[in-house]
Structure 1
Amino acid sequence: MESNQRLFKNKHLLLFFSVFILLFSQYGCNKDDILDRSDAELIFSTDTLTFDTVFTTLGSTTRSFKIYNQYNQTARIKEIRLSGGENSQFRINVDGISGTEFKDYEILPGDSMYVFVEVTVDPSDASLPFVMTDSISFLLGNNPQKVTLAAWGQNANFYYGQTICDEIWDDDKPYVIVNSLLVDSACFLRIEEGVQVHLSNNSRLFVNGTLELNGQIDNPVILQQLRLEQFYRELPGQWEGIHILRPSVNNVFSNALIKNAVVGVRVDSLPENNNPKVSFFNTEIRNTLSSGILGITTVLYGENILIYNCGEHNIQMEYGGIYDFRHATLANYSSSFINHNKPIIRASNFLATPDALSLAPIYATFTNSIIYGSLDEEIFIEEAEPGVVDVEILFNHALVKTEMPEDTVFFNNVLRNMDPQFTDRFEKDYTLLNGSPAIDAGTQDAGVQNDFKGNMRSGQPDLGAFEFQ
């Protein structure tokens, strides 16, 4: 019995000393494994971290870079310091901790560590973008290193959830709308050529009065998202869109680009007469999460319009209305951000609620236009109570992707299911290649003398927004 107890104690003593020796050896090993070379250098994923245009007073998105330890010993960074300190317009976070100065950070052999950076640019008197710089310094051993920080700042005219009346915006500085903007009843907002309007997430441009977009062919009005970093430049759904409310009248969009919204332009219902609530001239709408144009019992006119890369429909006409589109190029294909699975055109003559079904006649004409995409069927007409109200959809001298029988809608001189041969849709170039069936396939009755780029339409016009050159 005593022999067994001694054996048990000896085993425990042996285990204790084994663990002690192991811990001691590891401690000694770790101490010896700290990198101690005066010429040692860290490796960075970039030597300059840049931010695209950041509007003053509004913070940037977070960017990051990595620090790599290329050695087989632990790298102990004596100091990491934001050079501008507390006065810098940049903010840094090292391995999850915010601050301006950090001491004795260790990176294990072959491992890495993140540094996160944001910037908020203070306002200035400059109208053009200006550059802000700073740096983050690193000290490993006796070898100082740095990563440069650079951001382009842009002053702007800011609107925060306001209601405005009778304003004219020129292009001295961009306009930034945060938490939406309302053009009041019986008031106007006139936006002149070259103006860029940026709207924050969930913001809309509401119009109870009149909105005029007065761009020029070579200097359009642009309405787009707030974030300008590379990733966001063609990302759908970053702001809600333009919303033309029921009291609004006489809206004119000329030479405008509307991009990266949820719905490009929504036009609400029940006009007092048959005058267009919105007239579109040389207008491009792209990268919408939902529809490019959504009309609800409204009256719209458009010529030389280009709408593409829409998450739902390029043109959506609900609960009746009157629509007249001439020389429209409506194209849709799936992309990195858009899954094209709904037809380019949708039209309906009804509004269904839990309590009632309301009907309204719909008249829509597409003259000298191209409606083409990757679906076999790019037109969807949903008619409730057939024969009760008029449903007249006319494609007059058009190229159309459809499997619908000709007696379902009205076709006049239509090219069905023929590739229009766009120059390069991947580069957003919807001009026509030589040999396109859309060349000289139009009618002069459309009465549109110039194309989207201002080129003269001579002789028999081409289909779509662009005349072949």
Structure 2
Amino acid sequence: MKFLYNLLLVIGIISFASCRDDFNFEPATGSELTFSKDTVYLDTIFTNIGSSTYNLKVFNKSNKDIKIPSIRLAKGENSNFRLMVDGMPGKSFENVELLAKDSLFIFVETTVDIKEETNGSEFLYTDEILFQAGSNQQKVNLVTLVKDAVFLYPQKFQNGSYESISINDEQVYGFFLDENDATNGNELEWNNTKPYVIYGFAAVPPNKTLNISAGTQVHFHRNSALIAFPTATINAQGTINEPILMQGNRLEPSFEDTPGQWWGIFIGQNSNAQFNNIQVKNAINGLFINANNGTAELENMQIYNCEQYGLLLATANVTAKNIVTNNCGKAALAITNGGVYDFVHCTFANYWSRQNQTVVIMDNGDGTMPFALQANFKNSIIYGNASESLVLAPANNQTNFNFKFEYSLIKFQNSGNRYNTDIFPYNFNNATYYSNNLIAKNFNEHQPYFSDTQKNKMMITEKATSIINYGNPFYAQQAPNDIVGISRLTSADLGAYQHITSVVD
């Protein structure tokens, strides 16, 4: 009986609704509509690469149900913008119904071929969404910045397969850079004329050199990377005023600091690397150097927002000056399987927001001679939001595990007394391994007072009195200017930056 009653009630409601006449839609006059914004700004896109989807909300502020006679793009079918109105894609719509006091979403996307629009390297592409109601017309502007670019990607063959390269006996989606490419010319010379967009693994062939000049911008698609094959060289020479930038190819602000958008830079066995004034961000591993040939030289290098490691060095040989890191999922610097390293005036920082991360990790593999470690840190900062910013993992106690920290700041709170600081390797009073360092054993001791760790502004400020002018002048001569070109010869602060006197925006 109860079921029958409920059934009759549902039927009655349906019948009542079907008999209502207040869903009769009146033609809009134009005075009823308001919009969530008067201009929809789509973020910067590369030529022929589709944008993300953006939305516009249209409100019917009146007390009557209306029918919008026309919603269309001003450039019509020739427009490079695409709309979706009430779930329907297109560029022109008629008699769009909108209930009283209700709203609807219009979704906007675009893809632009810059060569069809202009000969410039970038330009603003615009259009309008026109809302026509009788003689009354309202409009919302659409604006996006379009950049031209050099696109580098694996070739597609006639059988439908794609070019690939072999890495550790595994075929991966990738290609070798060609100095005589039919489309791009010499792909081993990158400059700042246009940005580069990389798809897949872009490899420098054996015995070849990739030269990257000042001001070059390189954007990597998901699952892409730059790799130097054995005996190859990557020579990236930016300047302080024109640094080289390497990051993902998503240009929306929401992706500006998102880790893990691309794989990173790989320097393979017996290959070579020189990096000067370069910023690497939003990778899985920023820079991985594995048993390189000779000495890899890194200077004025910034590495941010890496899903795993900022610098990952395996049995490598590296000299590094003015290196800055932050926001890395596992460690800012990881040295594994030994190697030879010299770090001068580096700021190894890590303020990753989740647990189980630190700043510097070092091990010497199984402890045998091929993996012997020799690492020196001078006038540097090792600091982050983890309790211990230094993790040392010698395989056979002190055998083949040699390091020294001099005139450096090390955060090591030894929470829960997990480490024995009376013995190797954390005996900070042992002059063989530690000399004239500042050990921050609590949150209030020797704080660097970085400018803004959330925005990767890792300059120490005037509050960091204990580390200002604490650097050894002899080591300062090895890196006479800080990462932005300020001399430190008369007063050397710790880390890659000389201190600033006020917080910058």
Give the counterpart letter for 1:265 in structure 2. L
* Residue in structure 2 matched with residue 207 of structure 1 by the alignment: 228
- The equivalent position to 1:341 in structure 2, one of 342, 349, 356, is 356
Matched, 1:290 2:290: no
* Residue in structure 1 matched with residue 4 of structure 2 by the alignment: none
- Cα distance in 2 between the residues matched to 1:460 and 1:25: 86
Matched, 1:223 2:246: yes
The count of residues paired between Structure 1 and Structure 2 equals 441
Instruction: Tell me if structure 2 keeps the 8 A contact 1:286–1:309.
Output: yes
Identity rate, percent: 33
- The equivalent position to 1:122 in structure 2, one of 109, 113, 116, is 113
SS in 2 for 1:113: strand
Deviations 1:15-43 (A, max 9, x none): 9x9789735641x2322xx3456353312
| Residues 344 and 78 of structure 1, relative CA distance in 2, 3 Å threshold | same
- The equivalent position to 1:422 in structure 2, one of 450, 453, 470, is 450
| Residues 163 and 351 of structure 1, relative CA distance in 2, 3 Å threshold | farther
Give the counterpart letter for 1:212 in structure 2. N
Instruction: Tell me if structure 2 keeps the 8 A contact 1:66–1:114.
Output: yes
- Cα distance in 2 between the residues matched to 1:19 and 1:160: 60
- The equivalent position to 1:62 in structure 2, one of 50, 53, 57, is 53
1:54 Cα shift?
A: 1.0
* Residue in structure 2 matched with residue 302 of structure 1 by the alignment: 320
1:247 Cα shift?
A: 3.4
SS in 1 for 2:402: strand
| Residues 127 and 216 of structure 1, relative CA distance in 2, 3 Å threshold | farther
Identify the range of structure 1 (185-194 vs 359-368) with the bigger mean alpha-carbon deviation. 359-368
Instruction: Tell me if structure 2 keeps the 8 A contact 1:41–1:140.
Output: no
- Cα distance in 2 between the residues matched to 1:23 and 1:220: 66
Instruction: Tell me if structure 2 keeps the 8 A contact 1:126–1:155.
Output: no
- Cα distance in 2 between the residues matched to 1:18 and 1:190: 77
- The equivalent position to 1:103 in structure 2, one of 75, 78, 94, is 94
- The equivalent position to 1:131 in structure 2, one of 120, 124, 129, is 124
1:412 Cα shift?
A: 0.9
Instruction: Tell me if structure 2 keeps the 8 A contact 1:136–1:147.
Output: yes
SS in 1 for 2:22: helix
Give the counterpart letter for 2:340 in structure 1. I
- Cα distance in 2 between the residues matched to 1:141 and 1:340: 61
* Residue in structure 1 matched with residue 287 of structure 2 by the alignment: 265
Aligned pairs for 1:18-29 (under 5 A) are: 22=16, 25-26=19-20, 28-29=21-22
* Residue in structure 1 matched with residue 472 of structure 2 by the alignment: 443
- Cα distance in 2 between the residues matched to 1:190 and 1:24: 72
SS in 2 for 1:420: coil
1:196 Cα shift?
A: 0.8
1:180 Cα shift?
A: 2.7
Larger radius of gyration: 1
| Residues 21 and 86 of structure 1, relative CA distance in 2, 3 Å threshold | closer
Deviations 1:379-428 (A, max 9, x none): 112233435x4112321110010135264242111101120122333443
SS in 1 for 2:192: coil
Instruction: Tell me if structure 1 keeps the 8 A contact 2:30–2:138.
Output: no
Instruction: Tell me if structure 2 keeps the 8 A contact 1:351–1:358.
Output: no
SS in 2 for 1:86: helix
Structure 1 unaligned segments of length 5 or more: list them.
Answer: 1-13
| Residues 283 and 126 of structure 1, relative CA distance in 2, 3 Å threshold | farther
* Residue in structure 1 matched with residue 385 of structure 2 by the alignment: 374
- Cα distance in 2 between the residues matched to 1:341 and 1:218: 36
Give the counterpart letter for 1:117 in structure 2. V
Instruction: Tell me if structure 1 keeps the 8 A contact 2:366–2:395.
Output: no
- Cα distance in 1 between the residues matched to 2:140 and 2:58: 10
* Residue in structure 2 matched with residue 350 of structure 1 by the alignment: 365
Deviations 1:208-246 (A, max 9, x none): 211111111111011111121211122221111111111
* Residue in structure 1 matched with residue 31 of structure 2 by the alignment: 40
Matched, 1:432 2:425: no
* Residue in structure 1 matched with residue 336 of structure 2 by the alignment: 318
- Cα distance in 1 between the residues matched to 2:198 and 2:14: 66
| Residues 301 and 104 of structure 1, relative CA distance in 2, 3 Å threshold | same
* Residue in structure 1 matched with residue 373 of structure 2 by the alignment: 362
* Residue in structure 1 matched with residue 404 of structure 2 by the alignment: 394
Matched, 1:233 2:226: no
1:435 Cα shift?
A: 4.6
* Residue in structure 2 matched with residue 464 of structure 1 by the alignment: 495
1:84 Cα shift?
A: 2.1
| Residues 455 and 21 of structure 1, relative CA distance in 2, 3 Å threshold | closer
Instruction: Tell me if structure 2 keeps the 8 A contact 1:136–1:149.
Output: yes
Structure 2 unaligned segments of length 5 or more: list them.
Answer: 1-7, 155-174, 180-187, 427-432, 441-445, 501-505
* Residue in structure 2 matched with residue 30 of structure 1 by the alignment: 23
- Cα distance in 2 between the residues matched to 1:112 and 1:18: 28
Give the counterpart letter for 1:156 in structure 2. A
- The equivalent position to 1:184 in structure 2, one of 202, 205, 209, is 205
Give the counterpart letter for 1:169 in structure 2. W
- The equivalent position to 1:256 in structure 2, one of 273, 278, 288, is 278
Deviations 1:340-361 (A, max 9, x none): 5311011122269xxxx99722
| Residues 41 and 24 of structure 1, relative CA distance in 2, 3 Å threshold | closer
Instruction: Tell me if structure 2 keeps the 8 A contact 1:44–1:66.
Output: yes
Give the counterpart letter for 1:149 in structure 2. L
* Residue in structure 2 matched with residue 86 of structure 1 by the alignment: 77
SS in 2 for 1:463: coil
SS in 1 for 2:499: coil
TM-score (norm 1): 0.87
SS in 2 for 1:314: strand
Deviations 1:125-171 (A, max 9, x none): 64442011111212345532222111111111111133115522221
* Residue in structure 2 matched with residue 3 of structure 1 by the alignment: none
Matched, 1:145 2:164: no
- Cα distance in 2 between the residues matched to 1:455 and 1:188: 31
Give the counterpart letter for 1:326 in structure 2. V
Instruction: Tell me if structure 2 keeps the 8 A contact 1:75–1:140.
Output: no
SS in 2 for 1:91: strand
| Residues 386 and 110 of structure 1, relative CA distance in 2, 3 Å threshold | same
CA RMSD of aligned residues (A): 2.6
Give the counterpart letter for 1:345 in structure 2. V
Give the counterpart letter for 2:305 in structure 1. N
- Cα distance in 2 between the residues matched to 1:300 and 1:21: 80
- Cα distance in 2 between the residues matched to 1:59 and 1:382: 47
* Residue in structure 2 matched with residue 7 of structure 1 by the alignment: none
SS in 1 for 2:425: coil
1:430 Cα shift?
A: 2.3
| Residues 115 and 397 of structure 1, relative CA distance in 2, 3 Å threshold | same
- Cα distance in 2 between the residues matched to 1:241 and 1:199: 9
